[in-house]
Amino acid sequence: MSKKGKFMENLSNFAERLSDLMHEKNLRSEGLAKAASVSGSAVRSWLRGDSVPTLENAVRIADFFACSLDYLAGRTDYYEEVAPRERPPFYPNLRKVMEEQGISRYRIARSTAVKDAFFSNWAKGEEPLLVTLCVLADCLGVSLDYLVGRRDF
């Protein structure tokens, strides 16, 4: 599958899973927006598949639904309850995981749609989009929750 195809698949998986979770709780976009401290238009955009949340917003949504980021992103069909917890800053945790897996940022940039410049932005405190996290987790062979520090394994 092409890099763009994988990106679009991740986008679609998230929109579908979010819709399912909201339906299970009989929740409308404004209700989720209030619970996750985002705008209703952002939630509607996610549901249409026009955009995806940042890491911070994805964690808020996963915390609200008490689910793993992998479940929220549609990377697994196994619902596993994950309790909210404080997570470490993204970039240092990413570097730790890369070191554990023996994968360089050069290798990630060469084999995925993740541009090398993203690493510099993350080092400055920016956070990735959920679809970018999916690509990183696939490349590193880890769960999203481990990648962002929501779980220890």
Residues 44 and 7 in one domain: yes
CA distances from 63 to 43, 72, 132, 150 (A): 15, 10, 19, 10
Residue 9 lies in a domain: yes
Range of the domain at 56: 3-72
Residue 77 lies in a domain: no
Instruction: At 151, list the tokens.
Output: 């779980």
Boundary residue ending a domain (72, 105, 126): 72
Boundary residue ending a domain (25, 46, 72): 72
Distance of CA 131 to the CA centre of its chain: 6
Question: Alpha-carbon distance 13 to 3, whole Å?
Answer: 15
Contacts of 117 by beta carbon, 8 Å cutoff, 6+ apart: none
Question: Over its length of 153 residues, how does the chain's per-residue pLDDT go in tens digits?
Answer: 555 555 456 668 899 999 999 999 999 999 999 998 999 999 999 999 999 999 999 999 999 999 999 999 999 999 988 988 899 999 999 999 999 999 999 999 999 989 999 999 999 999 999 999 999 999 999 999 999 999 987
3-state secondary structure of 129: strand
Residues 60 and 26 in one domain: yes
CATH classification of the domain holding 8: 1.10.260.40
